Amino acid sequence: MRAKEFLSERPIEEGDASGSTQFNSELGCMLGFVGADATLENLLNPKFKKYNTKIIKPNEVRAQAQLGYDQGLYIPENFNAWVKLGAAIKSKTKYKGKVGWDGTGQGNQGGVADVVFEDGATHSGISIKETSGITLTNTSPKELGFDYTGDIFKSYFEKYWLEWKQAVVDRVLELAQSGRVIGAPSDKKSQTGNDKIRAIQYNHKDHTDEAGNVYEEGTYTIWYGKGPDIKTWKREAFDEDAINKAIKAGNSLMQRVFGDWYQTAIAGAEPKAIEYQEKLFTAFTDKALEEMSKALAKPKALSKLLQMSEEKPYYYYMPESKTKGGKIKPEKLYEVPGTGGSTGINVNLKLAGPIEYKQVKGTGQKYHVKVWNVADGTPDPDAFAIVTLYIRYANGLFAENPTARVQELKGAEHLLWSSIEN
The span from the CA of 247 to the CA of 254, in Å, is: 10
Quote the pLDDT of residue 128. 86
pLDDT in tens, 393-413: 988 899 999 988 887 888 888
The CA–CA distances, whole Å, from 330 to 128, 133, 317, 334, 387 equal: 15, 11, 11, 13, 20
Quote the pLDDT of residue 107. 40
CB-side exposure of 201: number of CA atoms within 13 Å?
24
Quote the distance between the C-alpha of residue 307 and its chain's center. 16
Quote the pLDDT of residue 9. 29
CB 384 within 8 A of CB 371: yes
CB 236 within 8 A of CB 254: yes
For residue 84, report the phi and psi dihedrals to the nearest 5 degrees.
Answer: -65, -40
Supply the DSSP string of 65-76, one letter for each residue: HHHHHHTT---H
CB 386 within 8 A of CB 398: no
The span from the CA of 281 to the CA of 260, in Å, is: 19
Q: What angle do CA 414, 315, 343 make, to 5 degrees?
A: 70
Bridge-based pairing state of the strands 385-392 and 403-410: antiparallel
pLDDT in tens, 292-349: 999 999 888 888 888 787 788 899 888 876 666 666 667 789 888 887 665 556 778 8
Quote the pLDDT of residue 4. 30
User: CA-based Rg of the chain, rounded to a whole angstrom?
Assistant: 24
Which segments within 41-182 are labelled E, that is strand?
99-101, 115-117, 125-128, 137-139
Supply the DSSP string of 283-307, one letter for each residue: HHHHHHHHHHHHHTTSHHHHHHHTT
Domain ranges of the chain: 3-13+147-287
- 110: pLDDT strictly greater than 90: no
Q: What is the pTM of this model?
A: 0.75
Per the model's pLDDT, the better-predicted residue between 109 and 23 turns out to be: 23
The span from the CA of 78 to the CA of 90, in Å, is: 18
- 261: pLDDT strictly greater than 70: yes
pLDDT in tens, 144-200: 889 888 999 999 999 999 999 999 999 999 989 987 666 544 444 443 333 456 788
Bridge-based pairing state of the strands 207-208 and 199-202: unpaired
Per the model's pLDDT, the better-predicted residue between 14 and 39 turns out to be: 39
**21: enclosing H helix or E strand:** helix 17-22
Per the model's pLDDT, the better-predicted residue between 142 and 243 turns out to be: 243
The span from the CA of 234 to the CA of 121, in Å, is: 49
277 burial (CB, 10 Å; 0-12 / 13-18 / 19+) is buried
Greatest mean pLDDT among 25-34, 196-205, 317-326, 380-389 lies in 25-34
pLDDT in tens, 82-107: 999 999 999 999 999 999 997 754 44
Lowest mean pLDDT among 126-130, 132-136, 217-221, 229-233: 132-136
- 290: pLDDT strictly greater than 60: yes
